[in-house]
Amino acid sequence: MIEHTFIYFLNDNCPRILLNDLGNQIVVNDLFQLFTSGQVNSKKLKIRDNNFKLSLVKLYSNKVDNKIHYCANTREVVFDKIATDIPELDNFLTDEEGKSFSIAIYVEGAFLDENVNEERTAINFNKGEVKFPDQTSQEELRLAITDLLQSEFEGQIQQLSERRLGKVKEFVVQLLGTDNC
């Protein structure tokens, strides 16, 4: 539940939210801190005339969940899996302390606010070739974000790639060794 409302907690003026359950009180804002360990980094991205705010969040949970969340009017509308463009990110990344985390990118901007459908279930991105400076395609935005991630997490992605290559080599050696017996 908290993942779908992360965008609210990224806002500086987020109110303190309390849940009461049979006398047990939970401060939801504290759960956000627990899941992120305070690891939120803001970036700006411009595609032609459209400005976007990116919130890169390290999620410390037991579930691999590397996604780009497109938000309109402070609500998540749709998402893309980062592994679509960076296959290594179907796994956890590891921080300096050896803790595993996933990456969630929350994307906000006037373009998204102005192009969300009434049901808030889709964003009307431009399809095909972009012809005007105020237009953006979902693929174009996703690729710009994954390029930024490639440089931001270059060393960690390289380690995942090397690990993956090592597993493939190990598999091939085992396969060839079995066939030669």
Question: Hey, which residues does 47 pair with through a beta bridge?
Answer: 50
Average pLDDT over every residue of 56-64? 89
User: Where residue 4 falls among pLDDT bands split at 50, 70, 90?
Assistant: low
Supply the mean pLDDT for the chain. 88
- Contact partners, residue 39, CB within 8 Å, separation at least 6: 57, 58, 60, 95, 101
- Strand 100-108 to 67-72 pairing: parallel
Answer whether residue 71 shows pLDDT above 80: yes
pTM: 0.84
**DSSP 3-state of 6:** helix
| Class of the CATH-defined domain 42-180 | alpha beta
- Strand 75-81 to 67-72 pairing: antiparallel
Domain positions in the chain are 42-180
Burial of 170 (C-beta count, 10 Å sphere; 0-12/13-18/19+): exposed
Q: Residue 132's closest CA among 113, 115, 118?
A: 115
pLDDT tens track for 108-167: 999 999 999 999 999 999 888 888 889 999 999 999 999 999 999 998 888 888 888 888
